[in-house]
Amino acid sequence: MPIASGFESKEGIALVVGGSGGIGEAICLKLAEAGTDVAFTYRSNEAKAKDVAGKIADHGQEAHYYSLAIDDEDQVKEFFQILLSKHGCPHTIINATGAHITMPWISQLTPKEWRAVMDSDANGFFNIVHYSLPHMRESGGSYVTISTAGLKRWPTRDVLSVAPKAAIDALMTGIAKEEGRFGIRANTVALGLIDAGLFQKLADHYDEKYMTAAIQNSALKRLGAAEEVADAVVFFASDRARFVTGQTLTLDGGFSL
């Protein structure tokens, strides 16, 4: 176990919502490396979930995975009933999921597309909070969510990523402010271009000219890596950040400067 991992005093599991994705997997493995058992959810790719669970076990930690559509309130309610009965309340809940999106101009975005993304992203995360928060109050705990650096520097045609994350960011601030008296912390990691997860799925939308400009406009002149995201998330989740709440760490290589 790494020195001063920050999870030695925590009982139970960490929950990663969206743990089978590229960034979610890196977070799961970093949590296991830090010495905590992990439960995670996946949408439909059970084979990938089994692979991630095996890697967690290779780190000597227990792994439990569950299929979950967070925009389905009934599913989320049932999921937490099962999770709590099997594992007790998680000491950490990490939201690493995001909607599968296109990249339209706002002028071309339809109300149907807007509603679908808000339901599967912002409203889905609220479902997670609604069914977990009363239990998190009992022993304290930490929420960490993945957001976007687009809230600081607008990325053209990225409204379906930025808009739901703005709602989630506001919710996280409210949790930090209102629930701190119960020992609950809430922090956010806002991402720029990370060579993993949704970015790779949207690769067809980024031509060579766009990528060259994005890299040159960042201070560090490169893309980020999933492991770097995981380092930041696990720090926020750990006792090393026990006096940190309501904060956003922008992990974008200086793109938003």
- Beta-bridge partners for 147: 190
pLDDT for position 1: 39
Tokens linked to 175: 């949790």
What is the mean predicted confidence (pLDDT) over 5-9? 73
Q: Measured on CA atoms in the order 187, 235, 145, 152, is the torsion positive or negative?
A: positive
Distances (CA, A) of 55 to 33, 119, 199: 10, 31, 23
- Asked if 101 and 117 touch (Cβ cutoff 8 Å), the reply is yes
What is the mean predicted confidence (pLDDT) over 8-36? 93
Instruction: Kindly state whether residue 46 falls inside one of the protein's structural domains.
Output: yes
What is the mean predicted confidence (pLDDT) over 179-183? 97
| Amino acid type, 23 | I
Instruction: Kindly state whether residue 100 falls inside one of the protein's structural domains.
Output: yes
Report the alpha-carbon distance of residue 118 to residue 103 in Å, rounded. Answer: 15
- Please tell me which of 35-44, 189-198, 216-225 the model is most confident about, judged by mean pLDDT: 35-44
Q: Residue 201: which pLDDT band, with cuts at 50, 70 and 90?
A: low
Report the alpha-carbon distance of residue 37 to residue 15 in Å, rounded. Answer: 9
Backbone angles phi, psi at 171, to 5 degrees: -65, -40
Instruction: Kindly state whether residue 3 falls inside one of the protein's structural domains.
Output: no
The tally of domains found in the chain comes to 1
pTM: 0.92
DSSP 219: S
What is the mean predicted confidence (pLDDT) over 146-164? 93
Instruction: Kindly state whether residue 234 falls inside one of the protein's structural domains.
Output: yes
Instruction: Kindly state whether residue 8 falls inside one of the protein's structural domains.
Output: no
Instruction: Kindly state whether residue 5 falls inside one of the protein's structural domains.
Output: no
Non-local (6+) Cβ contacts of 108 within 8 A are none
What is the mean predicted confidence (pLDDT) over 112-140? 96
Helix residue ranges per DSSP H, 140-246 = 159-179, 198-201, 208-216, 226-237
pLDDT surpasses 80 at 12: yes
Non-local (6+) Cβ contacts of 257 within 8 A are 219
pLDDT for position 198: 56
Helix residue ranges per DSSP H, 15-158 = 22-33, 46-58, 73-87, 111-118, 124-139
Q: Residue 3: which pLDDT band, with cuts at 50, 70 and 90?
A: very low
Instruction: Kindly state whether residue 17 falls inside one of the protein's structural domains.
Output: yes
- Beta-bridge partners for 93: 15, 143
Q: Which helix (H) or strand (E) holds 144?
A: strand 141-148
Residue 141: domain span: 13-251
What is the mean predicted confidence (pLDDT) over 87-106? 92
pLDDT for position 122: 97
- Read off the CATH number of the domain in which 34 is found: 3.40.50.720
Least confident span in 7-21, 119-133, 231-245: 7-21
Instruction: Kindly state whether residue 2 falls inside one of the protein's structural domains.
Output: no
